[in-house]
Amino acid sequence: MADPNISYPVELFVRHYDHGHRPSGGLTAAAFLDRDGVINNDGSYVNQVDDFDLLPGAAAAIRRLNEAGLPVVVITNQGGVAMEYMTVEDLDAVQDRMDEQLAAHGAHVDAVYGALAHPEGKVRALRKESLYRKPAAGMLYQASDDLGIDLETSSMVGDATTDIAAGKNAGCRTILVRTGFGGSDRRANAVPDVTVEDLSAAVEWILANRTDIV
């Protein structure tokens, strides 16, 4: 559930979970993860609950981040809402499915941010160029403000060049995975800091290169 004390724009879907990662003072590093093609569904879009399927090893990788004390924040473009391929209720149900499947493996995410707008959207209120839609960095900035995240010590993991561009725009370290698009989308001119096989390898890199702890 989104923070009831914060008013979010119509084009932003937000879920926060209370897993004890909201700092009382100072900033914390986080792992920002794209969803489709990184956590689930290797190369296909997810518009309904039955479309959702975790990628092998994804839950275990997220559990490693949980155990290391790094907040896990999903940063996902969901322009299918603007295009009327799905509704916000459908998106809610998909997120419920993700939560359930992760929990079955002892893993969880700490927040989800979804950009619902699309410049060619059929829903008038969502037909726009949005500062939240990747490659723009608005979702990462919002998460930083909401959760006290230090962007410079955080990492953005994605399968698309737009994910990498969003991470770069926010000042994060960036990791491209070969699952999903594997960078073949070519929708943004962005070069990742590192390219790895999948989310498990990305988490290995994140934990081996942490700069937020001594």
Angle at CA 13, nearest 5°, toward 7 and 18? Answer: 80
Residue in 36, 90, 146, 159 annotated catalytic: 36
128: Cα separation from own chain's centroid = 21
Can you point out the beta strands (E) in 39-110?
A: 72-77
> By the 8 A CB rule, do 179 and 37 touch?
yes
If we measure between CA atoms, which residue out of 192, 195, 177 comes closest to residue 37?
Answer: 177
Among the listed residues 3, 18, 34, 212, the single catalytic one is 34
* Active site annotation includes 50: no
34 is catalytic: yes
Radius of gyration of the chain (CA): 16
Q: State the catalytic residues.
A: 34, 36
